[in-house]
A and B are shown apart, each in its own frame.
Chain A
Amino acid sequence: MNINYILKKLFHSMITVLIVITINFFLFRVMPGDPFAMIAKAGNLSAEYKESLSALYGFDEAYHIQYLKYIKQLLTFDFGLSFKYRKPVLEVLGNRLMATLLLAFFAQIFAIVAGAVIGTISAAFRGKKIDVFALGFALLVYAIPAFWLGIVLVLFFSVKLGAFPLNGMVVAGLTHPTTWAYVMDVARHLFLPVFTMGMAIMGGYAIIMRGSLLDVLTEDYITTARAKGFKRRDIVIHHALPNALLPMVTVIAINMGFMISGAIQTETVFSWPGIGRLVYEALMARDYPVLQGAFLVISITVILANLIADILYGYLDPRIKYD
């Protein structure tokens, strides 16, 4: 691992961010629909009123001027004003992003651990009954849509058993006496959404882990490890797993993006105040500044996840070239 490698990857990431910003800027200028009607919350606008709105939001200037202004704003973390909430976009995004990150983080941890364990067991007992069962289970959860699983879980655990809260991130209107009480309240609300989202991606992880491990197990160095007299279990854990984890890292990083943006299903079922739902609401309200901000934030999260994966890859695989 060396610093040049990290700097180079960081530089690449920044270029990607710039490209995303550019696309993001033009995307909203070629999109159909009339944002002014939404801002004014009225259908028929007089020409003068439109013009004044246009001037207020800077739409009357040439595209390249708007573009430069946009970048200048971004550099000062000014994402503009939300049409709908009449508040700075960053403020609207901030809390929602944290809620989604919280959900995605724990769902990832759950999915990675469960997926890796199931995939490893499956590969280690290839062709045996336990493999058929584990692989079947992985395929089944892979095929289950998140919203369906979420609804079933809510019906069973929340409605019937009352074991978990129905929706939201905290009990509405409740003031928490201590920070600990707050954390516990969030944790109780977090359990079912995390499980739902975790299950939705866990199947994929298990299948990839199994395939990757089966590939590695046919490598020559596994024969070497056998010839050395290692037990099968030790070979799988110490010789095969470190190599088999490499493809997993890539998939986890790619998935991170899907989880941030694709959390809509889970967030809707559990009324989780996350960014997925925010995007949906903003789209319905044609709240362009929020959408634009959300897209950018989601893209940066994905790029960041890939950057971390790249660095992790360099650490896990000594063959990665530093120059």
Chain B
Amino acid sequence: MKAEKILEVKDLRTYFKIREGVVKAVDGVSFVLNRGESLGLVGESGCGKTTTALSVIKLLSDNGTIESGEILFKGRDLAKLTEEEILTHRWKDISMIFQGAMNSMNPVMKISRQIVEVIRLHEPEVGEEEARTRVKELFRLVNLDPDLMDSYPHEFSGGMRQRAIIAMSLALNPSLIIGDEPTTALDVMVQAQIIDLINRLRQQLGMSMIMITHDLSIIAETCDRVVVMYAGKVAEIGPVAEIIKNHHHPYTEKLIKAFPDIYGEREMVASIPGVPPNLIDPPKGCLFAPRCHKKIGKICDEVVPELVAVAGSRHFVACHLWGESHE
């Protein structure tokens, strides 16, 4: 089976210049996303998962730049596009599902208006009425009452707002949708409903997705493959089931142990001792080494581990425990 690559990120490096120096937020990340596939980006706060996803459409703050690397979207390198050129790709080709709990929708603008404006921005030939008809369809698609489309965001509950945000992300039928913690801060029942909605839409529309979250259970339910990130680098990539049951990186192991297992014995959830390294002046060698419980010696402190295939070609891990140098 030869899958069609929709997005290929090659050796991406995104740095932020701050007063104290240059933060290497994303430092050499590579991954592939196939059409119709859903890829999870998981890791602690500050591991670079959001920066990686935002780099794809160059949605960085003013002090952030893509230093090097390629972002091949349908074969075109987005990293080389100017600000002007990338504008036409945003939302039309790659849209986002933001957190509904945050102020992701403009509080003084009606929801219908916020969806209509993006339709008419990218499809100027579409009239106001036609755009509104499309908003109605989108509302039905996400199980919202179309009669409520002229509400303001604050008039919706958290779950409804998240549905409206999903409807907005689908407005232009994009090839790729990036979900930035779309279920965070919703209560569990609503969270489950939103996950069901996302899964239904994925099947119905054949959506390709990148899902950013720190919650592995969300990844398990919505993703095909997962990228585990640590300190701006990829620690492990593989199919979701493989990563959860047969992970190889000590960090992935710790990350999974940090989640309570409702079927297992009652025990304290394990935290990971220590803090992630300073990304302005990172230590040489493996960045996880100072916190690692399976350190094998000097090599961990001195040599940066490469991503190597573990089982066949679908599972990769960057750890000296599995590297050739160890054998």
Contacts and interface: CB of A to CB of B under 8 A. Distances in A.
A223 interface: yes
Contact of A319 (B92, B96, B152): B152
A289 B118 CA distance: 62
Contact of A318 (B57, B91, B102, B152): B152
A220 B92 contact: no
Interface of B: 57, 59, 87-92, 95-96, 98-99, 102-109, 117-118, 121-122, 152, 154
28 contacts: A219-B103, A220-B98, A220-B102, A220-B103, A221-B103, A221-B104, A223-B104, A226-B59, A227-B95, A228-B91, A229-B88, A229-B91, A229-B118, A229-B121, A229-B122, A230-B87, A230-B121, A231-B87, A239-B109, A242-B108, A242-B109, A243-B106, A243-B107, A243-B108, A316-B108, A317-B108, A319-B108, A319-B154
Candidate in A227, A230, A318, A319 with the most chain B CB atoms within 10 angstroms: A227
Contact of A221 (B88, B89, B107, B122): B107
A221 B153 CA distance: 11
Contacts of B105: 221, 224
A229 B152 contact: no
B103 to A, nearest CB: 4
A226 B61 CA distance: 11
Contacts, number: 64
Interface string A214-245: 00000111011111111100000001001100
Contact of A224 (B88, B104, B121): B104
Nearest to A126: B62
A319 B121 contact: no
A319 B153 CA distance: 9
Contacts of B102: 220
Contacts of A228: 90-91, 117-118, 121
Given A227-B90, A316-B108, 11 more contacts: A219-B103, A221-B104, A225-B106, A227-B98, A228-B121, A229-B92, A229-B118, A230-B121, A239-B106, A318-B108, A318-B154
A128 B51 CA distance: 25
Question: Lowest 4 A-B CB distances belong to which pairs?
Answer: A229-B90, A221-B106, A220-B102, A318-B152
A229 to B, nearest CB: 4
B59 A227 contact: yes
Contacts of A316: 108
Size bin of chain A's contact surface: 10 to 19
Contacts of A231: 87
Nearest to A221: B106
Contacts of A220: 98-99, 102-104
Contacts of B122: 229
A201 to B, nearest CB: 26
Contacts of A221: 103-107
Nearest to A239: B106
Contacts of B121: 228-230
A223 B106 CA distance: 10
B87 A229 contact: yes
B193 to A, nearest CB: 22
A228 B86 CA distance: 11
B91 A227 contact: yes
A193 B104 CA distance: 45
A242 B113 CA distance: 14
A220 B90 CA distance: 16
Contacts of B88: 229
A228 B119 CA distance: 9
Contacts of A227: 57, 59, 90-91, 95-96, 98
Interface string A20-35: 0000000000000000
A223 B59 contact: yes
Interface string A105-120: 0000000000000000
Nearest to A319: B154
Contacts of B109: 239, 242
A308 B98 CA distance: 36
Candidate in B90, B106, B117 with the most chain A CB atoms within 10 angstroms: B106
Contacts of B107: 221, 243, 317-319
A316 B109 CA distance: 10
A221 B121 CA distance: 17
Candidate in A220, A239, A316 with the most chain B CB atoms within 10 angstroms: A220
A224 B121 CA distance: 14
A226 B104 CA distance: 11
